[in-house]
Structure 1
Amino acid sequence: MLAQSTLQRQEFQLALADPHFFLLLGGLIPLHPDVQLKPSILVREVQGAPLHYDLNALFLLKSRLWVGGSYRSNVRAGKENLAPTLNRRNAVAAS
């Protein structure tokens, strides 16, 4: 009975998702017969959030081994409506 009365007092709201927009660019560039470069960039835009972008560079060595790195960032450009307490988080990765 306690659970039933608690459920009757709950307020329900409809959650609407903000649209997400993605732009992905990349390619495979032969540098040498044994080495190829695969650069790429991913840009993500979500309403109410900083612009996110990922920069990636992978090297393919002798068509067997991938070596590369990534950088991910947040950009506040043109987003004056963001909360001032929002942290700027950047990340670097290597593989």
Structure 2
Amino acid sequence: DDPLASPLLADLKGLPPLFLQVGDAEVLLDDSREFEKKARAAGVDCKLEVWDRMIHVWHAFFPMLPEGEQAIDGLSAFLKVRWRQEATAQAI
């Protein structure tokens, strides 16, 4: 029952934009999908990517796994867009 143990139990209202990446071979795939739904229902800008044949933390294998590097590049692109949006909003 503790949201610190499971983010699915947390109140997600007011969170910043979220970017979730999960492999379809990941044990947390269903939880990730449910978390995205809950975040969107709470009004959070949330993007979920499901990667074919990827396991938990496949990103860590980027030196030898092209999908790891691609996933990190996707995160980088997401952050750049959000940071630009935030900078523009603060400048106005």
Greater Rg over alpha carbons, structure:
1
Higher helix share: 2
Q: If the length of structure 1 is used for normalisation, what is the TM-score?
A: 0.24
Higher strand share: 1
* Structure of greater relative contact order (alpha carbons < 8 Å, 6+ residues apart): 2
